[in-house]
Amino acid sequence: MRIAVFDSKRYDETSLNAANARYGHELVYFGDRLNRNTVPLAAGFDAVCPFVNDTLDASTLNALALLGVKHVALRCAGFNGVDLAAAKQLGITVTRVPAYSPEAVAEHLFALLLTLVRKTHRAYTRVRDGNFSLEGLEGFNLNGRTFGVIGAGKIGQAAMRIANGFGMRVLAFDRSPDTKHAGELGCTFVPLDELLREADVVSLHVPLFPETRHLINAGSLSTMKRGAVIINTSRGGLIDSAALVNALKSGQIGGVGLDVYEYEEGVFFEDLSGTALQDDTLARLMTFPNVVITSHQGYLTHEALTNIADTVFDNLDAFAKGLPLANAVSA
């Protein structure tokens, strides 16, 4: 098969080429994101392989169908950028990578959390400048604190295991709570409002759907424990960014760690160091000393990249052979 890989970086090429050695597909890499403007690049390809911020709306999918593209092999878990109803109508199969390395994302959330609560980002900058003062660097122990997990899927469960290792009390909310195995997970399933009231740390691990957009908003922020910390390594749209800024300004929220951002498309994954940042809300968030932002790198480990590439080619191979698609997504 000829496969057009969009929004690719060098690390994508390395992992995908290594996995493709077993299959021998023809891969062509494009740094451009796949959308209605770049879809002509897919001419002559059997399948496309987009990433999390590519936009496969109805018009893009229709153009892909006219070009003869039959398969969209997402190399991410999220599929909110794909119009699944349009894909189904056009006969385009969509697959994803539902789980690559839950531990990679869970470990990154704790990297963000520990950075915030121990203020290591500020300490590092001070020491680099020759300032060895400890004033203003007081943090707090994770041990004994309450860790709230919203979304108890594989990543959420990996986060719970780490939180248990720190000696934290773990609360979890999920639309379909696995209360039977709560003891094994080391958590207590509670309603969302109870979790928000009691948690010292709230970590988000749910997909982005219309019903979860702005799950964290002005109302939910006001119900949280004053000074609580929020970590989002899931989807940026789960948080109302403007409301978050206001909660930080008032001191209602004590710290925020973001690996995703509501309007990250066109910003994250890019080198914008030589230009002025056009997103005023993101620029405002970056001014807070108690906000740590990384550029959607929670998945970026060798193990995760390898797992992603392997699953992408398993999906492509199953599609090419007409086999059942374990990782298909549909409307």
Evaluate whether 295 touches 283 at the Cβ level (below 8 Å).
Answer: no
* Bridge partners, residue 169, by sequence: 146
Determine the residue type at 143. N
Residues 277, 224: Cα–Cα separation, whole Å: 31
How far, rounded to the nearest angstrom, does the alpha carbon of residue 149 sit from its chain's CA centroid?
Answer: 15
Which residues are designated catalytic?
235, 264, 296
Main-chain phi, psi angles of 314, to 5 degrees = -60, -40
Q: How far is CA 251 from each of CA 201, 216, 256, 272, 286, rounded to the nearest angstrom?
A: 15, 16, 12, 30, 16
Q: What is the CA angle 245-147-171, rounded to 5?
A: 115
Residues 6 or more apart whose CB falls under 8 angstroms from that of 172 comprise: 148, 149, 150, 152, 156, 160, 182, 185, 187, 188, 189, 190, 195
